[in-house]
Structures are given as C-alpha cells and as structure tokens.
C-alpha cells in the first residue's frame, strides 16, 4: 500500500484526526484520486475498526474517535468526490433512521448524490418517521433516502414507509434504503423502491428511479 494511504489508514485506526486531516491533502497533492483515498484509506480502515470491535479489541470510545478521524478525512475529500458540476437533477431527503446514530455512510451517500447533481436535504441521525413525513411535506423531494447500520433499527425503515403511506405521501416519492445490514430482499419486503450497498450504487439507483 502507498505510504500516505498507510498513514491515513493508521491515523483512522488510532483515532488521530489531526494526522488524517494533514495526510489527506498530502495524498491529494501527491496525485492520489479521492476515490482511492476513500476506498483504500478511509473505508478500509473503518472496516478494520469494525473487526476489532467485533473481536473485543476495540470498544465504543475507540470506535467513536476513529469515526471522528474518518469524518475529518471525508470532509477534505468532499470537493473531489462532489465535483461533477451537474446541477439539480432531483431533490433527496436523507437521514439515518430512528434509534441509529451512525452517520458516516449516510454522509458519504449524501455527498455522492450532491456530486451527481442532486439537491440533498440532510435530516441527520435518529430521524423519527414523523420527521420524514414533515420533511416530505415541506421540501417535496423526489426521493426519500434512509440509512441504517444496526439490525435493530432496520425495522424503523418500514415504519417510515408506512408513515408516508398513512400521510398519503407514499406515491409522491421514491424510497431508497441502504446501510451494512440492508439487503435487496429486505428492501423489497418493506416496500422500498430500491437499495444500494454503497454510495456509488446509491447514486445509480437514485438516477434510475427518477427516469422510471
């Protein structure tokens, strides 16, 4: 692995946000693509953090400082990831569902959608069904995008779809879902229009739903 990428990877594992914030611009200046830095540096390190947590070698505080370091790197990559310059192809309301505080994947999906020309309204984390309903009424998006990282919060995606239906808004929007535990089968089961296992696919699915 490239030396700078290795350093970014280690910076995330150590939760050293200052090192990451210093190394990401260096990697960009050295000509590494934002995509490569994201996949081989940031995302690879975060997967290792997950593995260490699962093995009982990392605890929540370590996960948290690693997540902060990742967010610091992600912020610096944003201009490079979101540089297609295409203007508003559609509007998306995005959030992490109720009970779930994981926002790195959701933020990444939001950034990539912005890069693809979508207007993105980010509701944050722990978003209750009513808040999605209110946001759809207020912003009239084309797409509602939901993220969940916990198996225990996945059912809350279905609750949002049901709340949209109860409010008479389901037919006005397409719904896409994603996050590590989400499968296509689950998406079909709860009545979502699409799902994606990563941020690039989320953009493709969102685009395809606008023309369908």
List residues binding ligand B1M (CB under 6 A): 43, 46-47, 49-50, 53-54, 60, 63-64, 67, 99-106, 108-109, 145-147, 149-151, 176-181, 196, 198-199, 202
Rounded to a whole number of angstroms, the minimum distance from the CB of residue 102 to ligand B1M is 4
Rounded to a whole number of angstroms, the minimum distance from the CB of residue 1 to ligand B1M is 18
Cβ closest to ligand B1M, residue 141 vs residue 178:
178
Cβ closest to ligand B1M, residue 20 vs residue 29:
20
Q: Which parts of the chain are beta strand (E)? A: 90-96, 118-122, 143-147, 174-178, 194-196
User: Which of 159, 154, 196, 192 is closest to 175 using CA atoms?
Assistant: 192
Rounded to a whole number of angstroms, the minimum distance from the CB of residue 137 to ligand B1M is 20
Cβ closest to ligand B1M, residue 105 vs residue 115:
105
- The phi and psi torsions of 85 (rounded to 5 degrees) equal 70, 5
For 101-152, give the secondary structure using H, E and C. Answer: CCCHHHHHHHHHHHHCCEEEEECCCCECHHHHHHHHHHHCCCEEEEECCCCC
Cβ closest to ligand B1M, residue 140 vs residue 204:
204
Cβ closest to ligand B1M, residue 29 vs residue 191:
191
Rounded to a whole number of angstroms, the minimum distance from the CB of residue 93 to ligand B1M is 10
CA distances from 170 to 12, 72, 110, 173, 191 (A): 40, 36, 21, 6, 10
**121 with 92: CB under 8 angstroms?**
yes
Rounded to a whole number of angstroms, the minimum distance from the CB of residue 6 to ligand B1M is 19
Q: What is the DSSP letter of 42?
A: I
């Amino acid at each position: 692995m490239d030396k700078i990428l290795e350093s970014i990877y280690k910076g995330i594992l150590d939760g050293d946000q200052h090192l990451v914030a210093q190394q990401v611009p260096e990697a960009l200046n050295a000509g590494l693509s934002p995509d490569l830095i994201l996949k081989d540096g940031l995302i690879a390190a975060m997967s290792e953090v997950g593995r260490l947590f699962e093995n009982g070698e990392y605890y929540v505080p370590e996960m948290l400082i690693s997540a902060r370091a990742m967010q610091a790197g992600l912020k610096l990559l944003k201009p490079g990831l979101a540089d297609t310059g295409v203007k508003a192809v559609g509007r998306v309301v995005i959030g992490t569902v109720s009970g779930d505080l994981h926002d790195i994947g959701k933020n990444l999906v939001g950034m990539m959608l912005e890069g693809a020309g979508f207007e993105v309204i980010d509701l944050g984390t722990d978003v209750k069904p009513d808040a999605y309903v209110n946001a759809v009424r207020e912003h009239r998006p084309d797409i509602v995008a939901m993220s969940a990282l916990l198996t225990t919060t996945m059912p809350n995606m279905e609750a949002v779809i049901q709340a949209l239906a109860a409010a008479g808004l389901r037919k006005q929007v397409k719904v896409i879902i994603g996050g590590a535990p989400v499968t296509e089968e689950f998406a079909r089961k709860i009545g979502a229009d699409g799902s994606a296992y990563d941020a690039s696919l989320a953009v493709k699915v969102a685009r395809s739903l606008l023309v369908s």
